[in-house]
Amino acid sequence: MSKTLLIADDEPNIVISVEYLMKREGFEVLVAGDGEEALAKIRQHRPDIVLLDVMMPKMNGFDVCQEVRADPTLSGVRILMLTAKGRDTEVAKGLALGADVYMTKPFSTRELVEKVRQLVGQ
């Protein structure tokens, strides 16, 4: 059975390239264009992993991460924050709120695939 991955990002170019990459790697891919949609899809589909952007409309990635981590029924969802906000304070905040990994854009697709596979145990 393939693992499910949610891409939560409002940047269409990022979504298209990451969606293609992850489908090629065998993941079932869901997409959300803002934080509220991401949280709804996480609750509905319980993906194995979420690639979560910080700066999104309606609800930012930090708030989405915090909501997911506050819900014990979502404890199995891995979160990889994938964002242009790479200052040490943002990285520390993301990890403190419960992100499993924090990667900054631009990113290496090879490194992204490696991190995703590590997080889902593949």
pTM of the model: 0.92
Dump pLDDT digits (tens) for 65-94.
Answer: 999 999 999 999 999 998 886 677 887 888
What are the sequence ranges of the domains in the chain?
A: 4-121
Q: What is the DSSP letter of 26?
A: T
Nearest C-alpha neighbor of 117 from the set 35, 51, 42, 54? 51
Measured over the CA atoms of residue 44, residue 66, residue 48 and residue 51, the dihedral's sign is: positive
Alpha carbons within 13 angstroms on the beta-carbon side of residue 116 total 28
pLDDT at 122 over 80: no
CATH class of 4-121: alpha beta
